[in-house]
Amino acid sequence: PEREGMFHRGSGLNLTSGQYTAPIAGYYSFTATLCLVRREQRRKWRPCRGNRLRVLICVQSRCQHNSNLETVSWLESGVGLFTISVTGVLFLQAGQYASVFVDNAADSPLTVQSGSDFSAILIGV
């Protein structure tokens, strides 16, 4: 919500860049839930490496060098609209940022829809 209430949107979230920057060092609980649409299926579905989808929350955009959170899903034939979530705890130093990445190895393009969300909550220092 834009105004004060049950939840407070802190200054760490940048909606333009899609990054959450930690105001202080600590452990943060992250959650990303993406609503995705599978646009077209180019070829007949086969259970192979080409139907894999990974969603990651990475620190400093370095998914292979820093700690990250990851979930993997295998896309099924005929799926149009679906959701995928990743959640967990990461330690961030003050000034470090975390953001969501989608690694689409599927055989058709995907589009992130409105209704998707990304949150970070400081749970301890």
Task: Return the pLDDT at 12.
Answer: 84
- Does residue 107 lie within any of the structural domains? yes
Phi then psi for residue 51, to 5 deg, are: -115, 20
CATH number at residue 34: 2.60.120.40
β-pair partners for 100: 57
Q: What domain count does the chain have?
A: 1
| Residue numbers of the domain that contains 111 | 14-39+49-124
Quick check: pTM over 0.75? Answer: yes
**Structure token digits, residue 60:** 């400093």
pLDDT digits (tens, 9 = 90+) for 2-25: 555 445 567 787 777 888 999 999
pLDDT digits (tens, 9 = 90+) for 22-70: 999 999 999 999 998 887 655 554 555 557 888 999 999 888 876 799 9
- Does residue 9 lie within any of the structural domains? no
- Does residue 7 lie within any of the structural domains? no
- Does residue 4 lie within any of the structural domains? no
- Does residue 44 lie within any of the structural domains? no
CA 116 → CA 24, 47, 100, 103, 119, distances in Å? 26, 27, 11, 16, 10
- Does residue 113 lie within any of the structural domains? yes
